[in-house]
Structure formats: C-alpha cells, structure tokens
C-alpha cells in the first residue's frame, strides 16, 4: 500500500519537526544536556552502521529528533546569558531591523539590542530584540532600516492576553524572539547612525519602496494602489478593513499575501519563457540556475518578506530537482525545503503562513491530479475552469481545518470566487512585474498602469459581489487545537479510503469523527451551557458580559460598541468560546437602580451591583459582585461596610487609583480584584 523507502527526506523532516515541537512545548533540559544526548545518538547510529547486524535507522531518526530539539534551544535567545532581559538597565542601544509600520498614533518597528547600560556600571554588549512604538507627536517621520538609536529607559515585558480567548500577542512575538516592547515619546531616543545593518537587506527595502512608489504613480485610486502593493509586493499597510474582510469572505484572501501562489506563477512564467533552453546540452542547468536567480530577484523586490522567502526556497528546490531528474518525488523536495527553513529558524513551524503554505502545496500535489482525472472536458475553456476548480478544491481540503482554527470562518463560495480571482491575480501579478520593468518608458508603463487599475477595480467588484451573496460565509466557528488535528485526520483517512478502498480507513475516520464530537459535547457542557460573568479588561472602558447557553447580555460603555476593531479583538473571542449566537447590549429591562449612580443586575439568582459614578454608597449593601467604574470610589474605606463575594475594579478606572485601592483593600482584607492588573474577571455563575 504505502512504502516509506522512497520518502527518505520526508521521514527526516517529520522527526526534525517533532523535535522542534518538543523543544517549543517542553524545553525541560539544557542545551548541553540535549547536545550530549544528540552526540550519543549519532555515535550509536554510526556504530550500528559499522556493525551491520542491527538496523541503525531508529537511532538515526532519534538523532534527527534530538537535533530539532537542540535547534530550538539554540535559537531561543531568552536562554542566552547575553540577552538584555537578564540585566536591569537604564538605557540601551539598538539597530532598527525592519522598516516602520504605520499605526494610528505611532510608528511600529522591530529593533536589535546591541548594548545596554546597567543601573550600576558602564555600557556592556548585549543581544535581544525589542518592539518599539514611536509616538507620532514626538516623531513626525519614522526611522529607516539600519538606523542606530540610543534609548533612555528600559523596555517592558509584553503582557499576556487580558481577556478570555484573546489573541496571545505575547506568544506570537516570542516565536520571533521578541519578549519586550517600549513606547517612546519625544526626547527618549537619540539618533546615532544611519549606515548600520545588512547592506543586502537595506538594498532590498530600498528597491521595494521604489517599486511601491512606481506602482502608486501609475495606478490610480487608493484601494487599487493598496491591492497592487499587497498582491505584487506583499505590502499590506494601505489595505482597507472592509475590503480585506470582503476578500476573506469570498475565499480570496490568499491573493493579498505574496506567497506560494504568486511565486508559483512567477516560476511557471520563467519556465515557459526559457523552455527553449532545455534543448541545448546544459539547457536544464541553465534553466534551473536562471530561474533560481530570477526568483530570488523577485524576493528582493518584495523586501525578503518571510512568506516570499518560504515560497522562493521551496521553488528553488523544485527548480534544482528538474535537472537532477528528481521530479518524480515532489514530497522529498518539499520536505528538504521545509527542513532547510526550519534549520535556519525552527520557530517558523509555528507560523500560520508556513503551515498553510505547505499544507496547501501538499494538497495540490496529491489531490489535484486525482480530482482532475475524474472528468475530461472537451473544450479548452472548460478544461481550464476544471483545472482551477481542482486546484482550489485540493488546497481548501488540505487547509480548511487550519482556517477554521485560526480564522473561525469558512468561505462558502470559494470555488466560484477562485474561478475569477486566480486568473485576475495572475494577470495583475504579471502586469505589475511588467510595469516595474517598463517604468523607465512612460508610454508603455502608463498603458500597463491604466489596464491594471481597471483590472483591480474589476477584481474588487467581483470579490465584493460574492461577499454580498446570501450565506457567503459561515462565521463564528470555534474549534480547539485537538479538534483541528482530528479534522485533519478525518480528511486524511477519507482521502486514503477513496484512494485504497480499505475498511480500516472507515473505522479510523469514524473514530476521528467520534472523538471530535466528544470534545464538542465536553465544550458545550463546560463553556457554553453554564452562565458566566466576564468583566473585560479594555483600557478606558467599562465592559461586562453575562453569557448562558449561547445568549449574551452586554453592559458597558456605548462608545465601545462603536469601535468594531476593539470588539473584535477583546470581546469576540470570549463570545466564540461561549457559543454566543444572540447578544443584547445595555438592555434597560435588565437594569435596576439603587441610586442614580448605581445599577443592579440580576442573573441566575445572583445580584451584580455596578457603581459608575462617585456617590455616597448605601450602607450595608449586599451583593454577589460589586463592580466599580470610572473612579467612582477613591478610598477602600468606603467599601468596608459592603458585603460582596468579589469587588471588581473594571478597566475604566485610572491605573493609579486602582493600584491605591488594591493596596488599601489588602490592609482591610477586602476581596478586591483589578482587571487592569490581573486581566479580565471571569466567574461561573451556578444556577
């Protein structure tokens, strides 16, 4: 049925990835202990190979596993003694390692620490990354790549998620070896130098910026310019949120991130144009070397973005395999490219883009030919439509479980949208490259720019129209990581059943489906059915929500509800976990008043009292939960006569006042909780 022998590098990559994951989730030994074990396994492997009586394979694979584990430990900079986090400092020197990303009120940049000044002592060399935010009021223009700054003060550790289910930005940045951030205002940073950094990277960023300016000069319309920059260069700064959502809802989001699709198109064009070279004596090698050089040239134009580097590395292996006649085993080629990327940066395995890219390519390589053979269209047009349909279906089958896990939605009309989106994206990408190549000739580049403007307009119209169709997207889907793995296994066993017609795959698929349902029932009885009170941590706002069996009652600042992005980031994750399908906001029928400045809420025989303005508190007030908002209480002594199971300071209070109340409450033995200091208050309410 299935033989491992032809897939040597797949085995190696599999065990290497397993070792990396073990190193990420269970870094229980030191680099030296893991290194010693690795050396021991390598020695055992060679001894068994020389002896010849026992198979050395298991020892070799264990050595590969341990190599992945060691690789993670080596690349985890927080474990290094030279990292600045191990020293209390008063100032530090950095080199900016990325161009600035514009935010609403600041410029965001990643920097590399090169030296630190401890609280006592002279300047010392140091290592480590830090995320910098430059206030626009103090820094009217951003600094560039390679600029050196002296910064006063010390960066702070990145905070964990403040609300249930919220995106874990701290963990996300830790996979980039970033553990600290610093908000800088006027006078806190001094510019020292502009010539540091890697000259190749600096040149790439310069080329990308010039390319972006060229596209904007020839393509009219803000939305069209943003789509062109994203699709051709991978620069997403100017994308509109509504337009981005339209692309996501129509299943076309993949075209806005320069990745495998785009690099694959470039590679196919190169192969097509240089195909005549293959007829010469060394033509295949000339084609391979030329295509690799051109692919890396395109990577330079995009500024060596991580997604492009992944794709270019992958297709470089594919290009190199052609003259070596290794085309028959694409899986080894993919495994070799993944192994190389993970050897350089093992934390790529935790990147959503990395996971989706390789799953999509594997799905297309294996499933697309099988699907395509199901029908043989007679006409040219029908054949091309069927090819695109098979590619879209294969990629979606391979990646939909990850898409649901990370994005909680599924585009219903992805097959229909990709019939238009993929050809349009191909034409725009080719046109964009031609525009950049012909920019010195205004007459030609002007015509191409005009055509691209209308082509992007047409693409946007198609995407928005599909988004507006009934039931265009299934939203608010929540699954856990184990359920995602079970979905992947369910798809895999179903494909194997279709391919090999073995009853054992029916049993395996049924088991995966049963376990998936079992987890879903467990989630329902533990997260959805029980009533829960959540007081959110959203700086400057009051926000309380009670959920039960998919029904939510939200009480808070009305201005917060108008900020869709804050609601999406801070509140929506908890609603997803709680299976909320109906929400009422600030329902006056559920609110009673003790005084004009005190509200009460009853839910499941529990009394919640909210004090939202400074007032004289009722004496001997009794409540299950007392919520204090808007600095309504200035001293904890005002709370001494109140009987409450929990006194909660919500995030509309000033941090200083909240800290003062916490200190006073400790001396009075009051059960006080500050969401600003400890994250959202979450409590299950028993009926």
Give the pTM: 0.88
Instruction: Specify if 451 maps to a domain.
Output: yes
pLDDT, position 328: 52
Which of 487, 506, 485 lies closest to 496 in space, CA to CA? 506
pLDDT, position 245: 84
Specify whether 314 is located in the same domain as 450.
yes
pLDDT, position 1: 43
Specify whether 489 is located in the same domain as 575.
no
Given 150, 166, 197, which residue is the final one in a domain? 197
Question: How distant, in Å, are the alpha carbons of 223, 367, 457 from that of 243?
Answer: 8, 31, 12
Specify whether 322 is located in the same domain as 467.
yes
pLDDT, position 640: 78
Instruction: Specify if 126 maps to a domain.
Output: yes
**Side-chain-side CA neighbours of residue 23 (13 Å):** 31
pLDDT, position 54: 79
Query: Which tokens belong to 529?
Result: 């059915």
Instruction: Specify if 233 maps to a domain.
Output: yes
Instruction: Specify if 2 maps to a domain.
Output: no
Three-state secondary structure string covering 193-239: ECCCCCHHHHHHHHHHHHHHHHHHHHCCCHHHHHHHHHHHHCCCCCC
Specify whether 509 is located in the same domain as 653.
no
Instruction: Specify if 524 maps to a domain.
Output: no
pLDDT, position 599: 81
**Phi first, then psi: what are they for 4, rounded to 5°?**
-80, -20
pLDDT, position 30: 85
Beta strands 89-96 and 101-102, pairing class: unpaired
Specify whether 394 is located in the same domain as 245.
yes
Specify whether 552 is located in the same domain as 614.
yes
CATH classification at residue 166? 2.40.50
CA distance 175 to 348: 8
Which residues, in sequence order, are CB contacts of 174 under 8 Å at separation 6+? 78
Which of 427, 456, 452 lies closest to 262 in space, CA to CA? 427
Number of domains in the chain: 5
Instruction: Specify if 564 maps to a domain.
Output: yes
Instruction: Specify if 578 maps to a domain.
Output: yes
Given 182, 197, 212, which residue is the final one in a domain? 197
Give the DSSP letter string of 74-116.
HH-GGGSTTBGGGS-EEEEEEEE-S--EE-SSEEEEEEEEEEE
Specify whether 127 is located in the same domain as 274.
no
CA distance 193 to 215: 30
The residue written with tokens 């040597």 in the block is 8
Instruction: Report the C-alpha dihedral over residues 536, 537, 540, 544, rounded to 10 degrees.
Output: 10
Specify whether 88 is located in the same domain as 185.
yes
Could you read off the pLDDT of 612-651 as tens digits, one per residue?
877 666 666 788 888 999 988 888 888 877 888 889 999 9
CA distance 162 to 476: 21
Specify whether 536 is located in the same domain as 661.
yes
**Phi first, then psi: what are they for 649, rounded to 5°?**
-95, 110
pLDDT, position 2: 47
pLDDT < 70 stretches in the chain: 1-5, 258, 325-328, 588-596, 615-620, 686-687
Whether the CA torsion 316, 320, 322, 327 is positive or negative: it is negative
Answer yes or no: are the C-beta atoms of 629 and 611 closer than 8 Å: yes
Given 52, 75, 98, which residue is the final one in a domain? 75
Which domain, by its residues, includes 656?
531-685
Instruction: Specify if 379 maps to a domain.
Output: yes
Specify whether 19 is located in the same domain as 156.
no
Could you read off the pLDDT of 59-114 as tens digits, one per residue?
999 999 999 999 999 999 999 999 999 999 999 999 999 888 888 889 999 999 99
Specify whether 384 is located in the same domain as 330.
yes
CATH classification at residue 651? 3.60.15.10
Specify whether 147 is located in the same domain as 270.
no
Question: How distant, in Å, are the alpha carbons of 128, 177, 317 from that of 125?
Answer: 11, 18, 39
pLDDT, position 638: 81
Cα 10 to its chain centre, rounded Å, is: 26
pLDDT, position 165: 92
Answer yes or no: are the C-beta atoms of 134 and 102 closer than 8 Å: no
CA distance 602 to 589: 11
pLDDT, position 590: 63
**Side-chain-side CA neighbours of residue 431 (13 Å):** 24
């Amino acid at each position: 049925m299935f033989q491992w022998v032809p897939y040597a590098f797949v085995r190696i990559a599999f065990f290497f990835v397993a070792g990396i994951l073990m190193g990420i989730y269970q870094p229980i030994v030191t680099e030296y202990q893991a290194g010693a074990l690795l050396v021991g396994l390598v020695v055992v492997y060679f001894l068994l190979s020389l002896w010849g009586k026992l198979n050395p394979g298991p020892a070799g694979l264990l050595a590969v596993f341990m190599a992945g584990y060691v690789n993670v430990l080596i690349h985890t900079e927080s474990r290094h003694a030279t990292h600045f986090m191990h020293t209390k400092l008063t100032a530090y020197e950095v080199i900016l390692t990325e161009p600035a990303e514009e935010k609403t009120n600041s410029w965001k940049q990643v920097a590399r620490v090169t030296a630190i000044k401890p609280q006592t002592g002279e300047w010392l060399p140091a290592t480590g990354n830090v995320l910098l935010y430059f206030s626009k009021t103090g820094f009217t223009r951003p600094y560039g790549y390679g600029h050196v700054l002296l910064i006063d003060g010390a960066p702070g550790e990145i905070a964990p998620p403040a609300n249930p289910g919220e995106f874990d930005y701290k963990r996300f940045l830790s996979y980039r070896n970033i553990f600290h951030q610093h908000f800088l205002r006027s006078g806190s940073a001094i510019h020292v130098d502009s010539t540091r950094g890697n000259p190749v990277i600096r040149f790439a960023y310069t080329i990308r910026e010039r390319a972006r300016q060229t596209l904007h000069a020839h393509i009219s319309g803000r939305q069209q310019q943003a789509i062109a920059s994203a699709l051709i260069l991978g620069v997403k700064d100017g994308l509109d949120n509504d337009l981005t959502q339209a692309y996501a809802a129509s299943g076309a989001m993949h075209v806005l991130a320069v990745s495998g699709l785009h690099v694959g198109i470039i590679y196919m064009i190169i192969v097509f144009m240089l195909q005549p070279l293959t007829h010469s004596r060394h033509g295949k090698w000339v084609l391979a070397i030329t295509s690799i050089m051109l692919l890396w040239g395109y990577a330079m134009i995009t500024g060596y973005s991580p997604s492009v580097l992944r794709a270019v590395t992958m297709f470089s292996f594919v290009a190199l395999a052609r003259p070596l006649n290794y085309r028959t085993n694409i899986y080894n080629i993919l495994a070799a490219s993944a192994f190389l990327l993970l050897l350089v940066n093992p934390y790529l395995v935790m990147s959503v883009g990395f996971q989706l890219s390789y799953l999509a390519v594997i799905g297309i390589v294996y499933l697309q030919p099988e699907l395509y053979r199901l029908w043989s269209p007679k006409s040219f047009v029908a054949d091309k439509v069927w090819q695109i349909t098979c590619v879209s279906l294969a990629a979606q089958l391979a990646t939909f479980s990850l898409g649901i896990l990370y994005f909680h939605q599924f585009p219903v009309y992805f097959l229909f949208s990709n019939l238009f989106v993929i050809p349009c994206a191909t034409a725009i990408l080719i046109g964009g490259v031609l525009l950049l190549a012909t920019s010195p000739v205004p007459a030609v580049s002007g015509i191409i720019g005009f055509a691209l403007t209308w082509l992007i307009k047409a693409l946007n119209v198609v995407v928005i129209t599909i988004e507006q169709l009934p039931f265009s997207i299934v939203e608010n889907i929540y699954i856990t990581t184990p359920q995602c793995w079970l979905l992947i296994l369910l798809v895999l066993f179903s494909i194997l059943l279709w391919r090999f017609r073995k009853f054992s795959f029916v049993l395996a698929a049924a088991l995966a489906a049963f376990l998936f349902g079992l987890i879903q029932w467990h989630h329902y009885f533990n997260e959805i059915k029980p009533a829960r009170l959540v007081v959110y941590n959203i700086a400057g706002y009051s926000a309380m929500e009670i959920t039960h069996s998919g029904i939510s009652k939200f009480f808070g600042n009305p201005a917060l509800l108008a900020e869709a992005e804050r609601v999406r980031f801070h509140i929506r994750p908890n609603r997803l976990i709680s299976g909320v399908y109906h929400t009422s906001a600030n329902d006056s029928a559920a609110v009673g008043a003790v005084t004009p400045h005190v509200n009460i809420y009853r839910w499941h025989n529990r009394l919640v009292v909210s004090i939202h303005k400074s007032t004289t508190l009722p004496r001997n007030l009794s409540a299950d939960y007392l919520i204090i908002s808007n600095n309504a209480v200035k001293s904890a002594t005002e709370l001494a006569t109140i009987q409450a199971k929990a006194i909660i300071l919500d995030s509309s209070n000033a941090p200083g006042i909240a800290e003062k109340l916490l200190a006073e409450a400790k001396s009075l033995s009051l059960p006080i909780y500050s969401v600003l200091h400890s994250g959202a208050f979450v409590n299950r309410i028993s009926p």
